[in-house]
Structure formats: structure tokens, C-alpha cells
């Protein structure tokens, strides 16, 4: 039985890489943000706006435990998931955690293009966005670093790049 959790900052590629990697490893794919949206019939943005971040973190905590009951699954978590409660310890006990590590510069480039669906980044751009990413990544790094495997994920544009991770994971997991 395999259960893998991909963790990392917003824009690290958890959803993008997770889809391809799960196929290569022949595991079911669950994106925790999408799972929450399906269970609550609301977008993550709506949940933040209507209930606030604290309530979202509570939902996220509970839904993480729900998906962790599934077997032979790769779960792409939300960017904040490992950084609240004892979620990272929980994931380390429930399965194999993989941190997709990406630099602030690269994250800022990616997130500039898709920040509208991330409520925490709303209204930030350019240097302010980059400074915010740098500051919050520094706070989150101690949680991300508790992952069993840290994967430098700066460049992973093609299926072949993802295949490299999947091969390396196959030897390490």
C-alpha cells in the first residue's frame, strides 16, 4: 500500500506535478483543495471569504484526515496544509511526504500569473508579492522541511522532468 503526500508552497507545482506523477506511479490522485471544494460545494476563495482562514484551516485539517484513509493514493495538499496543527506529523505517520522545493524568484513568476485563485495572495503583485512570498516561505520552511523527501522542483516543465521525479521516488519510497 502506498500513500504519498506532496507538500510545498503555493505554485510549487503540487497539483500540476501530482497529476502526472500519480499516473506514473499508478496511484489514484486527490488534490486536497479540489476535494474540499467538492465536499463543501464552494471554491477555496469562497470558503476564505465567507468563513475566514481559521475556519478554512479547520476544514482542511478534517479533510486531510478523510483523504488519508484512502489507500494507494497520491494527495497533493494545499500550500498551507502542513503548516497548521500537527498536520505534517500526521502526514509523516500516514504516508510518505515529498516537499517540492522552489525558489522565491520562480514562485513569484508563476504566482503572478495565477494568484487570483489564491485568496492569500489577492491584491499583491510585483515586488510586494515577491516580498510576501519570501517572508511567508521563511515561516513555512521549518514545516515543509519535515518531509521525508525534499525535491528540488525548480525546473519541471515537461512530462519527462516529472518522470525523473517518479523514477527517483520509486527508488526512495
Ligand X SMILES: Nc1ncnc2c1ncn2[C@@H]1O[C@H](COP(=O)(O)OP(=O)(O)OP(=O)(O)O)[C@@H](O)[C@H]1O
Ligand Y SMILES: O=C(O)C1=C[C@@H](O)[C@@H](O)[C@H](O)C1
Residue 11 interacting partner from Mg ion, ligand X, ligand Y, none (CB closer than 5 to 8 Å by kind): ligand X
The residue number with the shortest CB distance to ligand X is 13
82 binds ligand Y (CB under 6 A): no
Residue 16 interacting partner from ligand Y, Mg ion, ligand X, none (CB closer than 5 to 8 Å by kind): ligand X
Residue 1 interacting partner from Mg ion, ligand Y, ligand X, none (CB closer than 5 to 8 Å by kind): none
> Angle at Cα 82 formed by Cα 62 and Cα 53, nearest 5°?
60
Q: Which residue has the cell 522565491?
A: 104
**Gap between the Cα atoms of 99 and 7, Å rounded:** 5
**Gap between the Cα atoms of 87 and 91, Å rounded:** 6
78 binds ligand Y (CB under 6 A): yes
Q: Which positions ≥6 away from 5 have C-beta within 8 Å?
A: 74, 75, 77, 91, 94, 95, 96, 97, 98
Identify the residue among 118, 124, 153, 156 touching ligand Y (CB under 6 A): 118
Identify the residue among 15, 24, 92, 96 touching Mg ion (CB under 5 A): 15
Amino acid at each position: 500500500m502506498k500513500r504519498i503526500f506532496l507538500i510545498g508552497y503555493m505554485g510549487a507545482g503540487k497539483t500540476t506535478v501530482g497529476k502526472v506523477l500519480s499516473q506514473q506511479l499508478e496511484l489514484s490522485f486527490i488534490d486536497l483543495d479540489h476535494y474540499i471544494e467538492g465536499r463543501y460545494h464552494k471554491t477555496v476563495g469562497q470558503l476564505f471569504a465567507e468563513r475566514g482562514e481559521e475556519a478554512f484551516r479547520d476544514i482542511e485539517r478534517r479533510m486531510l484526515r478523510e483523504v488519508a484513509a484512502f489507500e494507494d493514493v497520491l494527495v497533493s495538499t494545499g500550500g498551507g496544509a502542513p503548516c497548521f496543527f500537527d498536520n505534517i506529523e500526521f502526514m509523516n505517520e500516514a504516508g510518505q511526504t515529498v516537499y517540492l522545493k522552489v525558489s522565491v524568484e520562480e514562485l513569484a513568476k508563476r504566482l503572478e500569473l495565477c494568484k487570483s485563485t489564491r485568496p492569500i495572495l489577492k491584491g499583491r503583485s510585483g515586488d510586494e508579492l515577491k516580498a510576501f512570498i519570501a517572508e511567508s516561505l521563511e515561516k513555512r520552511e521549518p514545516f515543509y522541511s519535515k518531509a521525508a523527501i525534499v525535491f528540488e522542483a525548480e525546473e519541471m516543465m515537461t512530462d519527462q522532468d516529472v518522470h525523473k521525479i517518479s523514477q527517483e521516488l520509486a527508488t526512495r519510497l
